[in-house]
Structure 1
Amino acid sequence: MTVAAVDASTATSLYSQGTTAAPAKQTMDSDVFMKLLITQLQTQDPSAPMDSNQMITQTSQLASMQQLTSLGTTTTENFSLQMRIAAASMIGKTASYTDSKGITQTGTVSAVSFAAAVPTVTINGTAVNLDLVSGISTTASA
């Protein structure tokens, strides 16, 4: 017996009233963790409350998760700062990059822009993303 597939986007029910559900979160952040803990406390059996050791363990896990999230944010910000410092230190130096045609171009870095997520350096009048620069050398003084 063959059963036809049901498309969830067109299905209706008594409770949905044609509204679309919010997309599910794919990550567990501190808000989700806290909501679960509150729900657990609200629905616990009064005659057998949650073990205090378990409560301390879960609270410690929440604090650890918040610190790891903070550490990840700090690491991302540090990487961004390092890219900016590297781009700024290239001004006046000779840099090489491969253009869209696959040809290696070389020229002097004359400017840096931090407007985009990845800094861009200007090499012979062309804006080049920092991650496309393949080499740097000091310009020989005349």
Structure 2
Amino acid sequence: MPYPTLPFPPRSEGWTLTIPELAEVMGEEAFNNPRDHGYGECDPETRHQLRKVRDAPEVHVRIYRALPAGLGEINTGDWITLSRDYARQYAMRDDEAAHDWPIVFADVEARTVLTDGKDLDQYRYAGASLSGLRDHAAGA
């Protein structure tokens, strides 16, 4: 049985801004009210990670991805997020929690996370592919 469509990575055009670069140019007010500055919704975990990077660009950030059970990987070019809650939205398949996909996560160098600077919830992973990641229940 084929898997349902995975969240696809953003096209590479425009996705060249690293999150340390984004965090550097964002003013404090943009962190506090991202929607007012054209960044869309942004949850507290994402804001926390971006602030952490702004203060120390060499730090690692936690990235998340929802995908079918047992795949356990994040590949170069994959769509990712900095928020477990946002990944959980993509993990939901229907009204049955038992059908939800698990979430995998990894801690990576912030410079390997790319953005187009328009949506603080969606990113593209530009580091080396990661495999053997453990599935975590979306609701946990």
TM-score (norm 1): 0.18
Higher relative contact order (CA 8 A, sep 6+): 2
Find the structure with the greater CA-based Rg.
1
TM-score by length of 2: 0.18
More helix by share: 1
